[in-house]
């Protein structure tokens, strides 16, 4: 399983990378950690003529934390987020998501941006981005800098809004400040570290009386992209934990999805699984928030 | 024609300068170019972990990196884990003691993963050991004696190295 | 020698049965292993394979012109050329039209079958060129379901054979029909064992180099295959002494599968043709789909006849095995279980209908246990069903049926004597270790919390001492009964000991086995004993580590050779000290007169005489000190009767698994809380090695039970062709396991040892199914097929009522 031949260029900075993309367009692919791309190339499912290495561009590696946002450069390694205490304190959901991403060897190389651009429908970081309404920043020479919400970014299985001449530069992850914010992330795979058969995540905030102030939840692996349910989440606002009909919410959410069939997982079982996981994460989140 | 590129890698302390095709993976470079055949190929798609090496002190899957990508880095392979010739590390010694290997094929990757674990968790629990080796597949041992080896290597008393 | 004698006469072992570091470990932990893909030969060329994309197709043309023009490409080999130059390999059963070559000829019979081979100066260049070979196919009808393949309307995988059934025999041992009719109860069921295999982390790799000057083909291969050098030579139309297989290649795991004939014949042919060394290292895609390392794929239909007290009196078993598109060792995997067809039970009469059918899928190869693991799953499933039917405790049900210790050697209906055993004791040891009362209570507590929880048991045979008795059983034209192994031991002038064995190892620590045995017999330090692997030209005959045979056969041969050395030393000492041998004491390699220890010869002195002082040797004694021992498998040498009765394997190990597992009632993921395995393989020569292989076998078994399957689409496409879809258990999926040992020595071997390489895998899937079905029973659900994935469990429950149905739940 040797990759098809290609040429390689190490981009010194973003401008350099974008120039290559201008020149080679569809024939070029950006590579950061390569944890998804290299196996695809080994199987000759991806065969770019040019590989543009952006993994050494410092500008793409910044981690910045404010009271409202976490900003991660696209080439920030997953492990650098995972082991960054201030970050994971401010945004526990991202650490919970990363817990399920592959294995330590893959997180040592894999990047936050890489997982988002690869856009596997069952991947953890895309679900998290969608859940938190993250903003993804792209740049190209032709169009300059532009920003997309996660909901605009993920378009289909392994398919995003990134054009051939664009590079994802950084991601802003909104932070929910204030008391009684809790989150949960669950997934079921046959082995830990495998692609999820289905996953579910939730984040919510309760007020002093235990009523939902705001909520967001979603599922992965249930459609062409991860799915979040803002309207259903909105219906939870103002309710206490006991007033929330978890079963009904989860049922309605998964009904709205079109899960696929594969050798490990029929669409019926996937639907069942997502429903169970969604109930669990919302319940866990409520319990955690109440306990605070 | 194939455009080879010049790279420099420090492997087990020795600096190498070579020219490689961009598509040469790090594992193939180590094995074919440097004749360091201790690192093994099991799947070439990032699942089995047999190809694990340390890149700048962190374990990675060397089948999932092109050698050109890691130009300038410092690599440690299984051949570089022993403190010196004729002396095994405590971990290697423990592997021998608890029968933590049979065919030996996954062993280099396992040693790298365990070596890394001990760098930052000197006294791991059994669960932590299993988590650390969860990205390394073994078909011989059922993992039991590997966990035993790490627990032995990190037990409170004992010498640092064994001849 | 009876087992009683072994126990009472033997002084305690000095080295056997003790903790000892395997000598092999040192090279592996230092990264100094010597695997086939590590072999570099000057000027070596590399092979990449082109596979058929279709399950069944006529190959119309192969146009390699563009490929041959590419840089580094030396050759593109088609089936047409290969068929003209090598001989086909034939199946182990009588089916002369089911021929097999490394490359497809006019037809491709499975998706993944190798159609052409590209040879280039690097593997990467060979893969590049492979994309430019233009092959035209005419797609033909195919069949992938084994039961469909039996229908008259099914497309024939090998039209010349006339049928998709490559083997069928109906054995009747005893008055089954009568006894079945006389039984108070009968119960019929079907279970399915999905295609899985041991999938070593190292794929198959082989390098060959032909020397014109010597007329020898050197072969370095990752091999575990009886009579491999002979079969390679035969296919290449070379005399046997023109092929030199280097057995000192370390094999990265095999557990049965690395038979490698087609890979080696292909590469050897290319090496000879091109006059350069050639190497093939299967990549994982080639390995999974085209490497023929898939395993048994069975449907069992079983009927048990039993009495109200739980005694199972008779069994009818029909085993339909889907062997894929070609036959390697595979149909014979229906034969080996004949030697333990009743498991550890006193079942009195048996009808066994064994059928091997071909489909357009990757061929099946030998897998750990050679068919015994699926058979044990089928038998144990039945025992649980009988218990459930009778509302009887599953432990009591088994004990009602276990062969009792005073019944050994025990003759089973199909003609095999089980040599020794004490099954109830091993079962009890496992139950005690598992703290069964507490385990039941824990299970019940889990159930109260709404979790599906179950305890599983299995009590299973592990026949050992593999030999070829299933060959004449399944093919009367093949009257072969020799299945030997050998060892040569030499003591050199310096007094150091070297032993030679004639086969490769794939993790079984044979060097440790042999040095421990030789040390025991010669009473010398095992660490000083070097064990080497001869190559096939200078090796004594061996039949490879298969069928859990090496502790018995290689251990026995090493002991035999060492004993001859010792006898020779005694004879020399008697001659030199002018006493009778009976008056001498052998101790630590030195010999002294019992009544006067000052009259002695040291080891060094003895060796000196042997090597340098011919004038002091007894008349007629060979100078030097080297002895060989070649022997036949104990109880071997017999041919089957007309009814197909045969003494299959000599020694019978036994295992008993006890598992507590739970199933998440939402996700249906399985969690194992406790795993205990009681194990009896007689005297363990290397306990660490035996335990290691048992843990590994259990891991294989759990994979087969819960997650491994070579799944195919209706189009005959392998869906599980990478490690992303064929799921191997990691350290998270294999639980902590406790092994409890018991020893009923074999009366047939030197030290009382039995074989044990297949342990764990043979009983684990059965026990896991037992636990899962116990967990599902309160829902009135059950599952009768593997793997028991979360989805499969969900499906099993989905149609059932969710209400707790106490009637279906057994107490235990």
Q: Do the Cβ atoms of A270 and A198 come closer than 8 Å?
A: yes
| Mean pLDDT, residues C776-803 taken together | 88
Which DSSP string corresponds to C337-357? GGGGTTTTB---EEEEEEEEE
Q: Quick check: is B162 in a domain?
A: no
Cα-to-chain-centroid distance, residue A167: 17
* Ramachandran area for residue C520 (φ above 0: left; ψ -120 to 50: alpha; else beta): alpha
Q: Report how far residue C414's alpha carbon sits from residue C640's, in angstroms, rounded to the nearest whole number.
A: 10
**Do C732 and B40 make contact, defined as CB atoms within 8 angstroms?**
no
| Facing A276 at nearest CB: one of C128, C666, C724 | C666
Instruction: Please check whether residues B66 and B102 belong to one and the same domain.
Output: no
CB contact under 8 A, C201 and B88: no
Distance (Å, whole) CA C292 – CA C266: 14
Query: How does residue C2 score in pLDDT terms, banded at 50, 70 and 90?
Result: very low
- Residue C189 clears pLDDT 60, i.e. is over it: yes
Can you tell me whether residue A74 is helix, strand or coil?
coil
Please give the pLDDT value at position C316: 98
CA–CA gap between residue A202 and residue A204 (Å, rounded): 7
- How far, CA to CA in Å, does C223 sit from each of C137, C236, C252? 33, 18, 9
Q: Which chains touch B (3 or more CB pairs under 8 A)?
A: A, C
pLDDT tens by residue, A139-191: 999 999 999 999 999 999 999 999 999 999 999 999 999 899 999 999 999 99
- Find the mean pLDDT for residues C472-495: 95
8 Å CB contact of A263 and C127: no
SS3 helix, strand, coil % of chain C, rounded to 5? 30, 25, 45
Mean pLDDT to the nearest integer, A260-265: 89
Evaluate if residue C18 carries a pLDDT over 70.
Answer: yes
Instruction: Judge whether residue B59 has pLDDT over 80.
Output: yes
What does the pLDDT average to over A87-103? 95
Please check whether residue B163 lies inside any domain of the structure.
Answer: no
pLDDT digits (tens, 9 = 90+) for C493-538: 999 999 999 999 999 999 999 999 999 999 999 999 999 999 999 9
CATH class of C484-631: alpha beta
Parts of chain C belonging to CATH 3.90.1170.50 = 36-140+204-281
**CB contact set of B157 (below 8 Å; sequence gap of 6+):** none
pLDDT digits (tens, 9 = 90+) for C540-586: 999 999 999 999 999 999 999 999 999 999 999 999 999 999 999 99
What is the b/e burial string over A267-292, where b = at least 16 CB atoms within 10 angstroms of the residue's CB? eebbbbbbbbbbbbbbbbbbebbeee
For helices C790-798 and C764-776, angle between their N-to-C axes, nearest 10 degrees:
40
Question: Which tens digits make up the pLDDT trace of C651-707?
Answer: 999 999 999 999 999 999 999 999 999 999 999 999 999 999 999 999 999 999 999
B65 belongs to a structural domain: yes
Q: Give CA–CA dist C348/C156, Å, rounded.
A: 39
How many other CB atoms sit within 10 Å of the CB of residue A102?
26
What single DSSP character describes residue C618?
P
Q: How far apart are CA C273 and CA C295, in angstroms?
A: 33
Structural domain includes residue B138: yes
Q: Same domain for B59 and B95?
A: no
Please tell me the pTM assigned to this model: 0.96
Contacts of B23 in chain A (CB under 8 A): 2-6, 41
Cα of first residue to Cα of last residue in chain A, in angstroms, is: 52
Average pLDDT, chain C: 95
Strands (E), C508-623: 530-533, 584-587, 590-593, 596-601
Q: Quickly state the pLDDT bin for B156 (edges 50, 70, 90).
A: confident
Residue B157 binned pLDDT confidence (cut-offs 50, 70, 90):
confident
pLDDT range class, residue C291, cuts 50, 70, 90: confident
Give A118-152 pLDDT, tens digit per residue: 999 999 999 999 999 999 999 999 999 999 999 99
Residues 1-20 of A with CB under 8 A from C: 1-5
| B49, B70: one domain | yes
Instruction: Report, as an integer, the average pLDDT of A83-88.
Output: 95
In angstroms, the separation between the Cα of residue C353 and the nearest Cα of chain B is 33
Q: What is the mean pLDDT of residues A46-63?
A: 97
Chain C residues whose CB is inside 8 A of the B106 CB are 201
Give the full edge-to-edge strand order of the sheet including A198-206. A181-188, A198-206, A212-220, A227-228
In the listed set B80, B100, B125, which residue is the last one of a domain according to the structure? B80
CA distance A42 to C124: 10
Q: Binning pLDDT at 50, 70 and 90, where does residue C811 land?
A: low
User: The tokens of B138 are what?
Assistant: 């073994």
Residues B76 and B108 in one domain: no
Confidence class of residue B161 from pLDDT cuts 50, 70 and 90? very low
Count of A-C CB contacts under 8 Å = 66
**Is residue B75 one of the residues assigned to a domain?**
yes
C495: left (phi over 0), alpha (psi -120 to 50) or beta: left
pLDDT in tens, C230-256: 999 999 999 999 999 999 999 999 999
| Whether residue B9 is found in the same domain as residue B76 | yes
Mean pLDDT of C419-437: 98
User: Which of B60, B71, B111, B120 would you mutate first to test chain A, the one with the most A CBs within 10 A?
Assistant: B60
pLDDT (0 to 100) of residue C329: 87
In chain A, what residues touch C666 (CB-CB under 8 Å)? Answer: 273, 276-277, 279-280
pLDDT at C81 over 60: yes
DSSP E strands, C613-669: 626-632, 651-663
| Residue C163 backbone zone (phi > 0: left; psi -120 to 50: alpha; other: beta) | beta
Residue of B20, B91, B105, B150 to mutate, testing the C interface (most C Cβ within 10 Å of its Cβ):
B105
With pLDDT > 70 as the criterion, what percentage of chain C qualifies? 97
pLDDT of residue A264: 86
Give residue-wise pLDDT tens across range A203-214: 999 999 999 999
Query: Could you tell me the two tokens for C406?
Result: 């005073």
Same domain, B15 and B75: yes
For CATH 3.30.365.10, the residue range(s) in chain C are: 298-470+639-804, 484-631
Q: pLDDT band for position B162 (50/70/90)?
A: very low
In a shared domain, residues B61 and B100: no
Over its C-alpha atoms, chain B yields an Rg (Å, rounded) of 16
Q: Is residue B85 part of a domain?
A: no
Contacts of B131 in chain C (CB under 8 A): 731-732
Q: How many CB pairs under 8 A join A and B?
A: 86
pLDDT band at B163 (very low <50, low <70, confident <90, very high): very low
Torsion angles phi and psi, residue B113, rounded to 5: -65, -45
CATH match of C36-140+204-281 with 3.30.70.1450 = no
Instruction: Give whole-number Cα distances, A279 to A172, A246, C564, in Å.
Output: 28, 6, 73
Query: What is the assigned CATH class of domain C298-470+639-804?
Result: alpha beta
Query: What's the number of domains chain B is made of?
Result: 2
Q: What is the mean pLDDT of residues A269-285?
A: 97
pLDDT at A2: 98
| pLDDT (mean) for C68-87 | 97
Q: How does residue C806 score in pLDDT terms, banded at 50, 70 and 90?
A: very low
Whether B161 is covered by a domain: the verdict is no
Q: Return the percentage of chain A with pLDDT > 90, whole number.
A: 95
Model confidence pLDDT, tens digit, residues C88-121: 998 889 999 999 999 999 999 999 999 999 999 9
- Chain B CB contacts of C71 below 8 Å: 2
Helix or strand or coil: residue C113? coil
pLDDT band at C292; cut points 50, 70, 90 = confident
B160 has pLDDT over 50 = no
Alpha carbon distance A43, B116 (integer Å): 29
What mean pLDDT do residues B59-82 have?
98
pLDDT band (50, 70, 90) for residue C812: low
In this predicted structure, the answer to whether residue B155 has a pLDDT above a threshold of 80 is yes
Nearest-CA distance from C795 to chain A in Å?
8
Smallest CA-to-CA distance from C762 within C242, C347, C232, C198 is with C198
Do B15 and B71 share a domain, yes or no?
yes
Residues B44 and B104 in one domain: no
Residues of A in contact with B49 (CB under 8 A): 103, 105
Contacts 24+ apart (CB under 8 A), B83-90: B83/B161, B86/B163, B87/B161, B87/B162, B87/B163, B88/B161, B88/B162, B88/C26, B88/C29, B88/C30, B89/B115, B89/B161, B90/B153, B90/B158, B90/B159, B90/B160, B90/B161, B90/B162
Q: Please, which pLDDT band fits residue C1 given cuts at 50, 70 and 90? A: very low
Q: Which residue of C has its CA nearest to A279?
A: C666
State whether residue A197 sits within 8 Å of chain C by CB: yes
Rounded to the nearest 10°, the torsion over CA C597, C601, C604, C610 is -160
Residues C398, C656: Cα–Cα separation, whole Å: 11
Asked which of B15-24, C442-451, C474-483 is least confident by mean pLDDT, the reply is C474-483
For chain B, the average pLDDT equals: 95
Contact A79 B58 (CB under 8 A): yes
A276 to chain C, minimum CA–CA distance in Å? Answer: 6
The arithmetic mean of pLDDT across residues A11-23, rounded, is 97
Cis peptide before C409 (omega within 30 of 0): yes
pLDDT above 90: residue C808: no
Is the CB of A190 less than 8 angstroms away from the CB of C790?
Answer: yes
CB-nearest partner of A2 from C124, C719, C720: C124
Handedness of CA B35, B38, B43, B48 (dihedral sign): negative
Which chain A residues are within 8 Å of B2, Cβ to Cβ?
5
Per-residue pLDDT tens digits for C125-146: 999 999 999 999 999 999 999 9
B72 and B95 fall within a common domain: no
Q: Please confirm whether the linkage preceding C86 is cis (ω < 30° from 0).
A: no
Say yes or no: B149 and B98 in one domain. yes
CA dist C129 and C123 (Å) reads 10
What phi, psi does B42 have (nearest 5°)? -120, -30
Which residues lie across from C312 on neighbouring strands? C306
User: What confidence tier does B2 reach under pLDDT thresholds 50, 70, 90?
Assistant: low
Cα dihedral sign, C767-C771-C777-C782? negative
Domain CATH number, residue B37: 3.10.20.30
Q: In what order do the strands lie in the sheet with C114-120?
A: C73-78, C114-120, C45-51, C278-281, C205-211, C216-221, C243-245
Q: What is the DSSP letter of A122?
A: T
pLDDT surpasses 80 at C810: no
Instruction: Please report the ipTM that was assigned to this predicted complex.
Output: 0.96
| Residue B18, both tokens | 């070579």
Q: Which domain holds residue B16?
A: 5-80
β-bridge mates for residue B5, sequence order: B20
CATH number at residue B132: 1.10.150.120
**pLDDT of the residue at A263:** 86
Structural contact between residues C288 and C720, judged by C-beta atoms closer than 8 angstroms? yes
Question: B63 and B21 in one domain?
Answer: yes
CB contact under 8 A, A5 and B25: no
Domain C-terminal end among B80, B104, B135? B80
Question: Whole-number mean pLDDT of chain A?
Answer: 96
Q: What percent of chain C has pLDDT over 90?
A: 95
Q: Residue C3: what pLDDT? A: 39
């Amino acid at each position: 399983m040797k990759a098809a031949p290609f040429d390689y260029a190490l981009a010194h900075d973003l401008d350099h990378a974008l120039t290559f993309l201008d020149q080679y367009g569809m024939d070029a692919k950006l590579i950061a950690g390569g944890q998804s791309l290299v196996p695809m190339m080994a199987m000759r499912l991806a065969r770019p003529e040019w590989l543009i290495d952006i993994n050494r561009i410092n500008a793409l590696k910044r981690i910045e934390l404010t009271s409202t946002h976490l900003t991660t450069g696209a080439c920030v390694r997953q492990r650098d987020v995972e082991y960054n205490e201030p970050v994971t304190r401010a945004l526990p959901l991202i650490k919970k998501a990363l817990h399920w991403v592959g294995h330590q060897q893959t997180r040592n190389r894999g990047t936050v941006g890489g997982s988002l651009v690869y856009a596997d429908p069952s991947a953890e970081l895309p679900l998290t981005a969608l859940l938190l309404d993250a903003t993804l920043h792209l740049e190209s020479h032709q169009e300059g800098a532009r920003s997309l919400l996660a909901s605009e970014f993920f378009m289909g299985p392994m398919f995003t809004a990134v054009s051939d001449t664009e590079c994802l530069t950084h991601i802003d992850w909104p932070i929910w400040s204030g008391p009684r914010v809790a989150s949960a992330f669950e997934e079921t795979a046959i082995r830990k570290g495998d692609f999820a058969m289905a996953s579910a995540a939730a984040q919510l905030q309760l007020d002093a009386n235990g009523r939902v102030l705001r909520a967001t939840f979603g599922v992965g692996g249930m459609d062409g992209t991860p799915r979040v349910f803002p309207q259903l989440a909105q219906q939870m606002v103002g309710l206490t934990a006991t007033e929330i009909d978890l079963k009904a919410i989860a049922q309605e959410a998964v009904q709205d999805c079109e899960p696929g069939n594969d050798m490990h997982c029929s669409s019926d079982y996937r639907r069942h699984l997502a429903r169970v996981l969604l109930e669990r994460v919302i319940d866990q989140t409520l319990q955690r928030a109440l306990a605070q | 024609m194939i455009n080879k590129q010049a790279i420099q890698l420090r492997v087990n302390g020795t600096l190498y300068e070579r020219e490689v095709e961009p598509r040469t993976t790090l594992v193939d470079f180590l094995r074919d170019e440097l004749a360091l055949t201790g690192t093994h190929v099991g799947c070439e798609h990032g699942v089995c972990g047999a190809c694990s090496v340390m890149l700048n002190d962190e374990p990675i899957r060397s089948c999932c990196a092109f050698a050109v990508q890691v130009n300038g880095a410092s690599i440690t392979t299984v051949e570089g884990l022993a403190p010196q010739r004729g002396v095994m590390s405590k971990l290697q010694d423990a592997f021998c003691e608890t029968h933590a290997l049979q065919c030996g094929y996954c062993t280099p990757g396992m040693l790298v993963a365990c070596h890394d674990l001990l760098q930052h968790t000197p006294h791991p629990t059994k669960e932590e050991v299993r988590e650390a080796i969860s990205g390394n597949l073994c078909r011989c041992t059922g993992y039991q004696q590997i966990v035993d080896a790490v627990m032995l290597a990190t037990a409170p008393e004992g010498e640092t190295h064994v001849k | 020698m009876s087992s009683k004698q072994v126990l009472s006469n033997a002084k305690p072992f000095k080295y056997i049965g003790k903790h000892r570091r395997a000598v092999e470990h040192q090279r592996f932990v230092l990264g100094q292993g010597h695997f086939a893909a590590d072999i570099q030969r000057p000027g070596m060329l590399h092979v990449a394979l082109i596979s058929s994309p279709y399950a069944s197709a006529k190959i119309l043309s192969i146009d390699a012109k563009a490929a041959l023009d590419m840089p580094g490409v030396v050759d593109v080999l088609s089936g047409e050329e290969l068929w003209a130059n090598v001989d086909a390999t034939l199946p182990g059963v009588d089916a002369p039209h089911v021929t097999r070559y490394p490359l497809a000829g006019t037809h491709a019979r499975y998706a993944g079958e190798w159609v052409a081979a590209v040879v280039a100066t690097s593997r990467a260049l060979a893969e590049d060129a492979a994309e430019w070979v233009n092959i035209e196919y005419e797609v033909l009808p195919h069949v992938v379901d084994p039961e469909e393949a039996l229908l008259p309307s099914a497309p024939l995988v090998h039209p010349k054979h006339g049928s998709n059934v490559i083997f069928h025999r109906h054995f009747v041992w005893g008055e089954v029909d009568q006894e079945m009719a006389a039984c108070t109860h009968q119960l019929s069921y079907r279970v399915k064992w999905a295609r899985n295999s041991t999938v070593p982390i190292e794929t198959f790799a082989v390098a060959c180099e032909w020397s014109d000057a010597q007329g020898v083909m050197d072969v370095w291969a990752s091999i575990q295959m009886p009579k491999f050098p002979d079969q390679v030579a035969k296919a290449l139309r070379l005399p046997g002494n023109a092929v030199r297989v280097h057995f000192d290649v370390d094999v990265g795991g095999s557990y049965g599968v690395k038979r490698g004939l087609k890979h080696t014949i292909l590469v050897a042919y290319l090496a000879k043709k091109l006059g350069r060394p050639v190497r093939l290292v299967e990549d994982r895609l080639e390995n999974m789909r085209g490497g023929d390392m898939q395993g048994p794929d069975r449907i069992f239909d079983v009927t048990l006849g039993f009495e109200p007290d739980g005694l199972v009196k008779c069994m009818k078993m029909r085993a339909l095995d889907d062997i894929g598109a070609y036959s390697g060792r595979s149909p014979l995997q229906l034969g080996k279980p004949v030697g333990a067809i009743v498991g550890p039970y006193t079942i009195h009469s048996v009808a066994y209908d064994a059928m091997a059918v071909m489909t357009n899928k990757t061929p099946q190869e030998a897998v750990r246990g050679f068919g015994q693991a699926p058979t044990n799953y089928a038998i144990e499933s039945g025992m649980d069903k009988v218990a459930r039917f009778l509302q009887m405790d599953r432990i009591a049900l088994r004990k009602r049926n276990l062969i009792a210790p005073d019944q050994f050697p025990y003759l089973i209906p199909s003609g095999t004597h089980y040599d020794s055993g004490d099954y109830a004791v091993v079962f009890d040891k496992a139950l005690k270790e598992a703290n069964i009362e507490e385990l039941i209570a824990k299970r019940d507590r889990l159930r109260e919390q709404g979790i599906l929880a179950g305890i599983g048991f299995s009590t299973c045979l592990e026949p050992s001492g593999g030999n070829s008795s299933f060959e004449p059983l399944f093919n009367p034209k093949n009257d072969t009964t020799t299945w030997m192994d050998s060892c040569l031991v030499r003591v050199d002038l310096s007094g150091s000991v070297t032993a030679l064995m004639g086969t490769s190892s794939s993790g079984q620590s044979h060097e440790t086995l042999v040095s421990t045995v030789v040390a025991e017999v010669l009473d010398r330090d095992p660490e000083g004993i070097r064990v080497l692997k001869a190559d096939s030209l200078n090796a004594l005959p061996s039949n490879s580590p298969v069928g859990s045979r090496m502790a018995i056969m290689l251990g026995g041969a090493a002991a035999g050779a060492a004993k001859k050395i010792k006898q020779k030393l005694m004879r020399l000492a008697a001659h030199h000290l002018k006493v009778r041998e009976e008056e001498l004491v052998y101790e630590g390699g030195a010999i002294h007169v019992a009544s006067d220890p000052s009259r002695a010869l040291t080891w060094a002195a003895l060796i000196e005489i042997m090597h340098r002082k011919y004038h002091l040797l007894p008349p007629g004694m060979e100078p030097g000190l080297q002895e060989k021992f070649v022997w036949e498998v104990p109880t071997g040498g017999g041919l089957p009767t007309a009814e197909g009765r045969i003494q299959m394997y000599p020694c019978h190990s036994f295992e008993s698994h006890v598992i507590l597992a739970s199933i998440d009632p939402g996700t249906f993921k399985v969690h194992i809380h406790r795993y205990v395995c009681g194990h009896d393989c007689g005297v363990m020569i290397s306990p660490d090695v035996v335990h290691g292989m048992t843990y590994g076998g259990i891991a294989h078994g759990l994979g087969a039970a819960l997650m491994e399957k070579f799944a195919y689409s209706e189009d005959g496409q392998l869906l599980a062709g990478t490690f992303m879809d064929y799921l191997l258990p990691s350290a998270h999926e294999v639980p902590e396991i406790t092994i409890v040992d018991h020893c009923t020595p074999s009366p047939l071997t030197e030290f009382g040892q039995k074989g044990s390489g297949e342990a764990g895998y043979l009983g684990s899937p059965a026990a896991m199914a037992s636990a899962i079905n116990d967990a599902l029973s309160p829902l009135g659900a059950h599952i009768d097929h593997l793997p028991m994935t979360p989805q499969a469990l969900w499906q099993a429950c989905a149609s059932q009522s969710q209400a707790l149905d106490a009637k279906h739940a057994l107490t235990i």
